[in-house]
Structure 1
Amino acid sequence: MASDDIKAAAEALHAVLAQMRAGVAFTGAGISTECGIPDFRSPGGLWTRNRPIDYQDFRASPAMRAEAWRRRFAMEAAFAGARPGRGHRALAQLLGEGRLRGIITQNIDGLHQASGVPEADLVELHGNSTYATCLDCATRYELDWVRARFEAERERAPDCPACTGPIKSATISFGQPMPAEAMARAKALSAACDVFLVLGSSLVVWPAAGFPVQAKRAGARLVIINREPTELDDLADLVIRADIGAVFDAALHH
């Protein structure tokens, strides 16, 4: 995107942010790509190279559990080395200024927390890949412990020492029920905001993609910043197809 186009987009975004008093941000993979986190759905992304492992298959099959952990540890370099990008830092700033009420994210990378966003202000719809939990008793396990057991047992997925249940990264897999508490919090935030900012989401995953619609119906202004068109562009008050970090940098330093 040309510098003049970035400037125009930033001015439009600045005008919205200047009036925002109770905003909500909804973030997808696009906000983290500049941080080195892969986009799962794009051509060449992880899901085009590996079929996602269904939740029921993970529970039922030791081989599937081992494959899931192999994939997670193969991604460790990207996740461990990632640092919050300009978009993350911009949202943390808006939150600190009281203009943003909360962040709803589809991401599992923990970069919002790393940017200084308190857990109380963050809704992780798809969980978090930076730690693991037992699916039966909910005991938390750190990834270093899981990896040590996995490697010591010749790539056998470890079971929970407390109850022998399967241990899984704390993410929501295909076929796994969405977390009820997170969905309720996201719904409440969406219904009460004055601006709903969609950042880097293709808006194809439901029911999560319904939150922008809910916010718009409740009277919020809808802003979508994404490199590719989304199915909700026609509903939005402002659509920007540009780099999230560049536009926010220019908008906040207007």
Structure 2
Amino acid sequence: MYKLLVIEDEELIRKGIVSLINYEKLNIQEVFEAENGKKALDIIDSKMPDIILSDINIPQLDGISLAKIVKEKYPDTRIVFLTGYDYFDYALSAIKIGADDYILKPVSKKDVEEILTKLVSKLEKKRREEKAIEERKKINISEYHSRSLDEQIGNEYNAIDIEKVINEEIFNPDLSLGYLSEKLGFSVNYLSTLIKKRMGINFQDYVTKNRIEYAKILLLTTDMKIYEIAEKIGYEDVNYFSSRFKYYVGQTPRQYQREVSS
């Protein structure tokens, strides 16, 4: 959920913006008001709004000066200016210093809804990207293309890099202990013990955990459908994928995607 600050010295316009928009629909939880630049700064420092709608010509501290301060202190804050034609050139100057957009007065409900929808979409995308970066730090999966499987494992026990072998096959829907034991020439029981000893986790938990971590990244950074993600990471049954995801994450894939974006 996001926070919005409306800065406008004309009370009628300010109250109109605050009261006429369905903010819940836009995923905006809190809306603050300020009639001058000084009060606005106090609110910004204490409440840290995600989006600011500000008139350019406001008392005590003009909108351009306010925007410079905000962008220096809180560079991720989205700023939109409300301006008449008389101040249009100032609005263009504001864009150059980091403001996101402007709305020409008289301001309509449609104008405000459209600009807020666009900015919320940008904020959600940024949150997903940041979350994806966090997830990538956790993930252990790497792709190995330089050598064949036989070259990687060699013929001797000490030459085998079990984690590397599993990672190369991790999105293969046929991946199982039986599949790996056949590839490596070990019995299933021996391979299971070896994996647990080498990696500190059993085979199934390792595969599922890493598949789910990669699924998180796909949910946050792509427009792929749930069944497409399931297939991508090695699950032919989307319902099984969803149940595994919920077991490890505590949410369904769709719930996870929505919560991170909100």
Q: TM-score, normalised by structure 1?
A: 0.32
The structure in which a higher percent of residues are strand is 1
Higher RCO structure (Cα 8 Å, ≥6 apart): 1
The structure in which a higher percent of residues are helix is 2
Higher Rg of the two aligned structures: 2
